[in-house]
Structure 1
Amino acid sequence: MKKTMKAFTEIFYASIFGYDEGIISDDRILSAALWRNLFNMRCDDPCQLELMVEYVRKQMQYLDSLNGEDLLLTGEVTWRPLVENDPQSILKPSPPTYNDEGL
């Protein structure tokens, strides 16, 4: 059991490292990480891989636009849709509602 858990942990950290490298790097590196980890090296359709690279980039752009303090206080993120009419736009989230009960 411990060996299996260690193997899963190593795979998890390798995946995170690959995604991180791809996010701070270029689309080639990100698509390689997605192909290895998300598609388990079984994606024969480059359009699907391209869609996922675009989706990750959109999500990162969106997360960067959020107010960090609001995110910490609410703990809520509404993810952008996979396919949009205007993928270059940044959707602005509605103002957060804070739950101050018990404070």
Structure 2
Amino acid sequence: MALKKRTAKDREEAIEAFGNGAEPLLVAQPAAEQKTRARPSVTPHMTDARDKATFRTMLLRFDDDMELAELLTEVAQLEGRKKHPMALRALRIGLEQVKDDYE
């Protein structure tokens, strides 16, 4: 079985065809052909889920308080824990103390 050697023109055409298939054309579609949005700007069932009192996850950003991140790492190492369980324990202790101040 013989292999066909591609010419430079064949390679350029193949690259152009691949690029056309991968990127949308930059020509505006007429209004009649434009598709509707696949997703509404607000998803009601998602916003309702976010408003619930209980949730399973939370993203915590240290932003400018890198001293707190370092303190968490240091205390976790002292107790022989990973940072996540230590952060949960510290959050529980702190929130219980804050709650006691209101009672």
The alignment's TM-score, normalised by the length of structure 1, stands at 0.31
Greater relative contact order (CA < 8 Å, ≥ 6 in sequence): 1
Q: Could you say which structure has the larger radius of gyration?
A: 2
The alignment's TM-score, normalised by the length of structure 2, stands at 0.31
Higher helix residue share = 1
